[in-house]
Amino acid sequence: MPSPVFIQRKVLFGDCDPEGIVYTPRFSYFVLEAVHEALGVWLNGPGLRALLGFNILPPARAFSLEFLHPVTWDDELTIKVSVSNVGEHSFSFSVEGRLPSDVLAFVASLTQVCVCPQTREVVAVPLPLRVLLQ
């Protein structure tokens, strides 16, 4: 597996509810943004565009998220993204968000499946992508 990638993400006012705590759905954006940034590092190009360059569509097959500590406006998150598995038709990421005090704020996992853009059928992970992610 490639080395983990660490992404910095500052929590913006628009990420939060009136009390200044991050809206629950915003965490899915944090995870997807971090995974796309990590893919950019691993694939040497703009993450999602580089992934689409393998002639696949990568819809999410599974997404899970566990909240461990409140995250508020102006918090600086360090988000660690790791490849956790590369299967025959899918690949998975492990994501951890930490606050500056090294408090673990959330953990997530995301699995994306490879789909042919023309037929919309599930296909094998392309060999060049498999090599880069393993």
pLDDT in tens, 10-25: 999 999 999 999 999 9
| pLDDT above 90 for 3 | yes
d(CA 10, CA 31): 13
| pLDDT above 90 for 88 | yes
> H or E stretch including 113?
strand 104-113
Predicted pLDDT of residue 16: 97
CATH number corresponding to 5-133: 3.10.129.10
pTM score: 0.94
Predicted pLDDT of residue 13: 96
Predicted pLDDT of residue 114: 98
Under 8 Å CB-to-CB from 67, ≥6 apart: which residues?
24, 27, 105, 106
pLDDT in tens, 27-79: 999 999 999 999 999 998 888 898 999 999 999 999 999 999 999 999 999 99
Predicted pLDDT of residue 125: 98
pLDDT in tens, 89-103: 999 999 999 999 999
Predicted pLDDT of residue 45: 84
Taking the alpha carbons at both ends of the chain, their separation in whole angstroms is 4
Task: Kindly report the number of other CB atoms within 10 A of residue 17's CB atom.
Answer: 12
d(CA 37, CA 18): 29
Predicted pLDDT of residue 47: 80
d(CA 32, CA 26): 10
